Amino acid sequence: MFCANCGNNIIPGEKFCGNCGASVLYGNNVEQSQPTEVMQPTGVEQPTEVMQPTGVEQPTEVMQPGIQIAQPEYATPLIKNRKLIIISACVIAAVAIIAAAVFFFTFPHFRKAAPSERIVVPKAKTSQSAQDVVRELQEKGVETRLVKDFGGSKPGNFARYQNVKPGQVIRGNHVVTVVESKGPGMPEKGVIGKTVEEAAPLLKSMGVPVKVYKVASLHPGKIAATNPMPGEPLDENKEIFIGVGEEDKYPDSGRSVPVELFDKDKDEAYKMMSDEGFKVRLVPKYSSRKHLGKIVGSNLGLGQSHRGDTDITLYYGADASETKKMFTSKRGYGESNQATVVSTLVPFVGKWCTKSGDCLEFEPTNYDTEIGENTRVLLRGTHAMDDLVDDENNKDYAHSFGMWQYTQQLLGDAIDTDDSDEDKNSLPLHNTLIFGDSGMTEIFRDGGDPYCGNKVYNVHSGLCVNGQFQDYQDLDSNYPDYSSNNFIDVPGVNKGITYKMRAYFVLVPVSAKLDELEASGFFKGKGKTKPDMDRPFILRRDPKYYSKSEITVASKDGDMRDNPFVPTSKHKAIPFAPAPDDSNVYYLVEKPFDFTGFIKDREL
């Protein structure tokens, strides 16, 4: 049988032409020879008339081979679709061929050098991009590896080769490591444990001043301490400091604290220094997760030598589990009144910076000199004057101000008692973070006291009259008709008292229950990117996220417990904003070595 459409020989039993796809069942195909008799199945009655599809005009005569046959209308779409498919396939193939040609002639093709082939490492400039240097090596058949580290060139540019030198002859099987610059900083490797001469080329390549100091070390002549720390960018000083170990200055009459104590297990360090004759005290200090339980600082300072000193405090890395221990102490007010009170704010002390370089610097003070505790810290830097509002009490602080914890009468505020029957909700600090188990704590300006004008309102020293504070001596002079017993009747008394949204910070150590605090509604909204929970950080409340940052006091005496901007014994504070995000939190800047206590040797 032959296909009536294309003339192709059709295998008996096939329903479609294998060449053009035309249907065999439409009756349009012609036998090579016609049978003289059609055999019918035995016993089957045959119809005397063949039924035709209704409405279809039938051919009046049988067409012979070689004569063109008219196709039924319903056969045409199949043929057309078949042609469309063939055309589409041709177009796709043509596009693929063109794309392959473009790729071949426009993109570089790198060969692999033979293992024995000798290749000269090309010279590269720091003005080139690191990718260009990689491409040049690959064109020579050299296999490459690209890493990012600190360098003197701008980020993205070539910094240096890590395992070869320009002009060096290498074999074809040598893998060359190309360093892409992240900008100036302290390289992760190549400095600690090296001599100054060995590390000098790498350090000088950063393009910033490099200062050399002498430090107490177990490895004289080797670089044992750096600032910034290895793997960290430059700080605001835009300088590099390295500490080189020297021999013990006072082997007979003094003591040295080697820099190698840093990151040593606290118990091992305790034994080591005790064996050296020191009276050692271990104190927790917030640190990143990698330093937990290890020494992160000391007093006497790491790397310093001391004549005659025998006491030393070793600070070890701590997380949220030690928050209460770090901030509080037990106090006894008579035999029957034992309380846990907030006794220090020292854990806030240090430098904390966002990834964009905005920083907070808290410094300790000895405000309560009679008990020798730091219940007040000073903030310096960008935000020191944010909410100063011409406060007369703070003009002398210039670019710093004091941060009070909860109330002015700090030692009278209990967060816990030894009496299990005590109603916890009656304690002054029961609405603060430190009272709970989140491992976090907060500090805020002036303890939430109300204001009269731009001055903290202290009813014990005077009264607020129409928004102006007047002490009792002024009241005697200005209102002679009133005695000290009835100044409350002076016109305008207790008018103009306000609460102001002042500085407010939350400290979040490693292992703090931040997710639970977020779920509690403590924050206003939610951040987009979760902060790095392996590093301690501070949150700063920003008034720009609020429609109102000052309100008039409702009560006559301006009770600080009515302040909605801070937690009080009456209520929690309004939701904190912004919510924690990796872009707005202030991470702790960890600096174990104080180079101001070292002796400067020279500059490179």
DSSP conformational letter for 226: E
Reply yes or no: is the peptide bond before residue 209 cis, omega within 30 of 0: no
Provide the total of helices (H) and of strands (E) in the chain, helices listed first: 7, 31
**464 in Cβ contact with 481 (< 8 Å):** no
Residue 64: the pLDDT is 45
> What is the four-CA torsion angle of 420, 423, 427, 430, rounded to 10 degrees?
90
439: nearest Cα among 394, 491, 506 = 506
Whole-number pLDDT of residue 411: 37
pLDDT at site 145:
95
Asked whether the beta carbons of 254 and 217 are under 8 A apart, the reply is no
pLDDT at residue 457 in the model:
80
CA gap 269, 316 in Å, rounded = 10
* Ranges in the chain, pLDDT < 50: 26-75, 78, 104-107, 368-372, 395-400, 405-413, 417-421
Residue 174: its pLDDT value, please? 94
Looking at residue 59, its pLDDT comes to: 45
- Which of 427, 426, 404 minimizes the C-alpha distance to 566? 404
Alpha-carbon distance of 364 to 346, in angstroms, equals 6
Instruction: Judge contact between 344 and 374, C-beta under 8 A.
Output: yes
Residue 539 near residue 506, CB atoms below 8 Å: yes
pTM, full prediction: 0.72
Single-letter amino acid code for the residue at 457: Y
Q: What is the DSSP secondary-structure string of 235-299?
A: -TT--EEEEEEE--S-TTTEEE--GGGTTSBHHHHHHHHHHTT-EEEEEEEE--GGGBTBEEEEE
Written as six digits, the tokens of 277 are 């004759």
The number of C-alpha atoms within 13 Å of 134 and in the hemisphere containing its C-beta is: 15
| Beta strand ranges found along 382-486 (DSSP E) | 401-403, 414-417, 441-444, 451-452, 455-456, 462-465, 468-471
Q: E strand or H helix at 91, and its extent?
A: helix 76-106
Q: Which residues does 213 contact at the CB level (< 8 Å), separation at least 6?
A: 241, 242, 243, 244, 595, 598, 599, 600, 601
pLDDT of residue 241: 96
Q: CA 130: distance to chain centroid?
A: 26
Can you tell me the distance from the alpha carbon of 410 to that of 421, in angstroms, rounded to the nearest whole number?
24
pLDDT tens digits along 386-397: 776 555 555 444
Burial call 541-573: b when 16+ CB within 10 Å, e when fewer = bebeeeeeeeeebeeeebbbebbbbbbbbeebb
Chain mean position to CA 479? 59
| Alpha-carbon Rg for the chain in angstroms | 42
List, for residues 468-519, the tens digit of each pLDDT value. 888 888 888 888 888 767 787 888 888 888 888 888 999 999 999 999 999 9
Q: What's the farthest any 2 CA atoms get from each other in the chain?
A: 144
Condensed to tens digits (0 to 9), the pLDDT of residues 141-176 reads 999 999 999 999 999 999 999 999 999 999 999 999
pLDDT of 310 = 80
As a whole number of angstroms, the distance between CA 265 and CA 90 comes to 72
Q: Which two tokens stand for residue 473?
A: 């001596």
**459 vs 150: CA distance, rounded Å:** 58
In this prediction, residue 382 carries a pLDDT of 75
Which DSSP string do the residues of 302-356 spell out, in sequence order? TT-EEES--EEEEEEEE-GGGHHHHHEEEEESSTT-EEEEE---GGG-EEEE-TT
pLDDT value at residue 370? 40
The pLDDT, as a whole number, for residue 352 is 94
Say if strands 451-452 and 254-256 run parallel, antiparallel, or are unpaired.
Answer: unpaired
